[in-house]
Structure 1
Amino acid sequence: MARPGLNLARVLAGLMLGGLSGLFGVYWDIAWHIDRGRDAFFSPPHNLIYGAMLASVLVAGVGMFRERRRTPWHLMVAGRALHPGILTVAAGALLVLIFAPADDLWHRLFGPDISLWAPMHLIGLLGLGLASFGGLVTAEIERWWAAGPAYAWLSVGFGGLLLGWSTLLLAEYEYVVPAFSPVYHPVILAGLGAFVLVLLARLEPLPFAASAAALGYTLFRAALAGGLMLTAQLDLAGVSRPLIAVLLPAGVVADLLARWLPPWLLGGFVGGTALAASYPVFAEALWPDWVLGAAWPFALTAALLGGALGGWVARQLRPLEGTA
C-alpha cells in the first residue's frame, strides 16, 4: 500500500541529471587536460562539473527540507527526519564541491598531477560514487515505501550511473595515458562491474535490471563520445577520445544467472564476461598477453569479492519489500 508523504521522483530525476552532467564534465575535463594542459580554475569543463554538483546539493537540500515523514529508514538529526539516501547524495555532491578549491590549492603547491588517482581527484571520485549510490538507495527505499512504479526505473538509472562512475575511475586507462601499471585496469573493471551488476540483478527493480543499466551506460557513453566530438568542433576540447568498456553482455549474464548462483559466484561470471567482451576494445592498447596473464587471478578475485559485496548490499535493501 502506498504511504503518504513527499514524492521524491522529481527530486531523484533532478539528481540523476546532475550526476550525468557531472560525469560528462569529468570526462570532458580529462580530454581538456590531455590536449591543452591544466587551464584556469573556471574552465568550461570545470564549470559544468561544479554547476552540476551545486545543483545536486540544492535539489537534495530541497528534498530533505520538504520531507515530513518518519519512516523506519529515516535518520533523526536535531529533531528532523532525514532521508538516508538523499543525505548520501548531498554528502557526495558536497565532497566534489569541497574537492574543487582543495584541488586547485594542491596544484598551486605541488604542480600538475600526472594521474587521475591523485589524492584530491580521489576525493572527487569518491563524492561522485557516493552521490550515485545514494540515488540508488533513495530509489529503492521509495520503491517499497511509496510504491511508485517510477522508482523502479530510477533504481535502474542510478545503477547505470554507478557503472559510469566505476569506469570513470579508470578513465586514464580509457584515454590510454595510464600513470600506473595496466594490470590494474582489468582487475578494477572486473571487480566494480561485478559489484554493480550483481547488486542490480539481486535487487531486480525491473526484469533484466542489470541489462537495462548496462544498456543505459552504453548509450550514455555513446552520447559522451558524440558530445566530445562536438566540443572539439567548437574548439572546446582536443582530439582525445576514451575507449568504452563493453558491459552489456555482463549485465545479461547477471540477470540470467541471478536466481541460480550465489552472489560471489555470480560475480565471477559477470566479471569474466565483462573482461571477455571488452577484450577486443582494449587488447591492442592496454591488454597484451602479459597483462592478462598477470591480472587474471586478481581480476577473478576482485569479481568474486565484488559479487559478494553486491549481494550483501542487496540483502540489506531487500527487507524493504516488507514495507510495501
Structure 2
Amino acid sequence: MASTAELLRCHWTRGEPGREAPRELVVALYRWWVAAMVLKIAGATWDICWHFRWLRDDLAPPHLINTVGTVIVIGLVVFHTYTGIGVDRATLRWMQWGLGIFLVAAPLDVINHRINGLDITAWSPSHALLYLGTGLISVGLLRGWARYGGGDRYFYPVTCFLWFTVLDNFLFLNQHQEYGVLGLAAWERGTPYAEDTLLQFAADDLGRPLDWIAVKSFTLPVPDWVYPTWATVTGLGTLVLARRLAGRQWTATTIAAGYLVFRCVAWALLGAAGFPISAVPFFLLAGAVAIDLSFRLAPAIRPFAGAAVVTAVTYLALWMQQTYIASPPVDYWSVLYAVVLFAAVWWLISYLLDTESGRRSWQRVVSRGQTMTGARESTTPKP
C-alpha cells in the first residue's frame, strides 16, 4: 500500500492516454478496479433481497456499500483521465461514458421511486441506465486489462472476474424472478419474507386488495418467456464471447462456475442473516459446459449447431432444476425464438472476430498488452 501510494504521488501529473508508467502502478490500478467492482456487486446483490423484505430506503446498508465502490470508481476514472496512465484513449472513453451514465441514472432512479412508488421491477428505465453504465465500465476494463495486464501472474483470473462482472450485470435482471418465485411461495405458506407494510404498499400501488394477484404482480412482474430467453441470449452470449476472446479451454465453464459459487455464498450469508433467499440458476453451468464443448465443432457450423445444442442443453437443465430444486416460471415454447436469437448473437460474434480486419484489431490490442504491459519496469526503489 505504501509503495502504491508513493507511485500515485510521483505520477500525479497531467498526461495523455497511453502514457508510460511503472508496470506495478498500472497493475495496482486494475486491482483497485477489481476491489471497486466487488463492492458494487456485493452491494447490488444485497440490495435486491433487501427490497423483497422492507420498503425502499435511500441510505440502506446495501446502497452504502455500492456507493463506496462507486466512489473508488470515480477516483480511478479521475486518475486515468488526468494522468493518462493505464488506459488508451478508447478504453478511457468507455470508462468515462459508463461512469457518466451511472451518475446520471442514480439520481433519476431516486426520483423515479419518489414518483412511482416501489418500482421494484428490475426492468424499469432508470434501472436500465444503471446497468448500461456499469456495462460500459466493464467493457472499458476488459479492453484496458487485455492491453495493459499481459504478463501479470493473475492475468487470466482477473480476466475471468471482469467477464464475471459482465455476466452478473446481465443476469441481475433475472434475479427479480429468482427472488420472486420463492417470495410468492413463502406468502402462500403464510410465512411471507416481506414485512406487512411492504406488501400493503405494493397492493396499494396496484389499487387492489392484498391478495394473491397483488403479491404475484409484486414478485413475478414479467412474462414467463423472459427469464429463460434473457438467460440464454445475454448470459450464455456473454460466455460465448468470453470463451472466444480469452481463447482458453473451459473459460465459459470457469466464469459460470465462479458466478454460481458467488450466488451460493450470497444465498447462505443472506439466509443466515434472515433475509429472503432466491433460486440459484444452476442450469447455466450446463449451458457453459456445452459452450466450451461446442468450440470443438468446425468454425463454419459452430454458431448454428453450437447454438442449437447449447440452447437445448440449457432448457433441459432448467426443466430439471424447476422439477427437482426451484426456478421461476418458464414458458418452454420460448426455446423456439431463444435458439434463433442465440444463434444470431453467436454468428455475429464469429463474423466480427473472424473477419481479417476484426482479427487484426483484436490481436494488435492483445499482443501489445503482452509485450508492453502498458508500461516500463519501475525504477522506483522499494521501501
Written as runs of structure 1 = structure 2, the 5 A alignment for 1:60-79 is 60-68=77-85, 74-75=88-89
Aligned to 1:213, which of 245, 248, 255?
Answer: 255
Q: CA deviation at 1:259?
A: 4.5
Match of 1:48 in 2: 65
Match of 1:273 in 2: 313
The 4+ residue runs of structure 1 with deviation greater than 6 A are: none
Q: CA deviation at 1:114?
A: 4.0
Instruction: Check whether the contact 1:6–1:66 (CA below 8 A) recurs between aligned residues.
Output: no
Match of 2:238 in 1: 196
Which structure has the larger Rg? 2
TM-score (norm 1): 0.81
Give the residue type in structure 2 aligned to 1:63.
H
Q: CA deviation at 1:121?
A: 0.9
Q: Structure 1: which 5+ runs fail to align?
A: 76-83, 233-237
Instruction: Check whether the contact 1:89–1:135 (CA below 8 A) recurs between aligned residues.
Output: yes
RMSD of aligned C-alpha atoms? Answer: 2.7
User: Is 1:249 aligned with 2:278?
Assistant: no
1:48-106 CA-to-partner distances (Å, cap 9, x unmatched) read 1222122122123323434358xxx932xxxxxxxx33542343244333322211112
Give the residue type in structure 1 aligned to 2:43.
G
Q: CA deviation at 1:228?
A: 1.6
Written as runs of structure 1 = structure 2, the 5 A alignment for 1:260-299 is 260-262=297-299, 264-265=303-304, 266-282=306-322, 285-287=327-329, 291-293=331-333, 295-299=334-338
Instruction: Check whether the contact 1:191–1:271 (CA below 8 A) recurs between aligned residues.
Output: no
Match of 1:153 in 2: 157
Q: CA deviation at 1:147?
A: 4.2
Instruction: Check whether the contact 1:195–1:267 (CA below 8 A) recurs between aligned residues.
Output: no
CA distance in 2, matches of 1:205, 1:148: 17
Instruction: Check whether the contact 1:155–1:205 (CA below 8 A) recurs between aligned residues.
Output: no
1:125-146 CA-to-partner distances (Å, cap 9, x unmatched) read 1122222222222222225xx5
User: Is 1:110 aligned with 2:116?
Assistant: yes
Q: Which SS does the other structure have where 2:332 is aligned?
A: helix
Give the residue type in structure 1 aligned to 2:102.
V
CA distance in 2, matches of 1:5, 1:124: 32
| Mean Cα deviation higher: 112-121 or 126-135 | 126-135
User: Is 1:124 aligned with 2:124?
Assistant: no
Inter-CA distance 258–170: structure 2 relative to 1 (3 Å threshold): same
Give the residue type in structure 2 aligned to 1:156.
C
Instruction: Check whether the contact 2:105–2:130 (CA below 8 A) recurs between aligned residues.
Output: yes
CA distance in 2, matches of 1:51, 1:313: 37
Report sequence identity in percent. Answer: 20
Inter-CA distance 267–74: structure 2 relative to 1 (3 Å threshold): farther
CA distance in 1, matches of 2:66, 2:114: 20
Aligned to 1:19, which of 37, 60, 64?
Answer: 37
Instruction: Check whether the contact 1:57–1:90 (CA below 8 A) recurs between aligned residues.
Output: no
1:14-41 CA-to-partner distances (Å, cap 9, x unmatched) read 22222232222222212111111222x1
CA distance in 1, matches of 2:327, 2:367: 49
TM-score (norm 2): 0.70
CA distance in 2, matches of 1:245, 1:92: 30
Inter-CA distance 121–282: structure 2 relative to 1 (3 Å threshold): farther
Instruction: Check whether the contact 2:243–2:251 (CA below 8 A) recurs between aligned residues.
Output: yes
| Mean Cα deviation higher: 59-68 or 217-226 | 59-68
1:140-185 CA-to-partner distances (Å, cap 9, x unmatched) read 2225xx5444333322111122221121021111112221101111
Match of 2:143 in 1: 137
Give the residue type in structure 2 aligned to 1:153.
P
Aligned to 2:295, which of 250, 253, 258?
Answer: 258
CA distance in 2, matches of 1:103, 1:47: 15
Inter-CA distance 285–321: structure 2 relative to 1 (3 Å threshold): closer
Give the residue type in structure 1 aligned to 2:119.
D
Inter-CA distance 142–310: structure 2 relative to 1 (3 Å threshold): farther
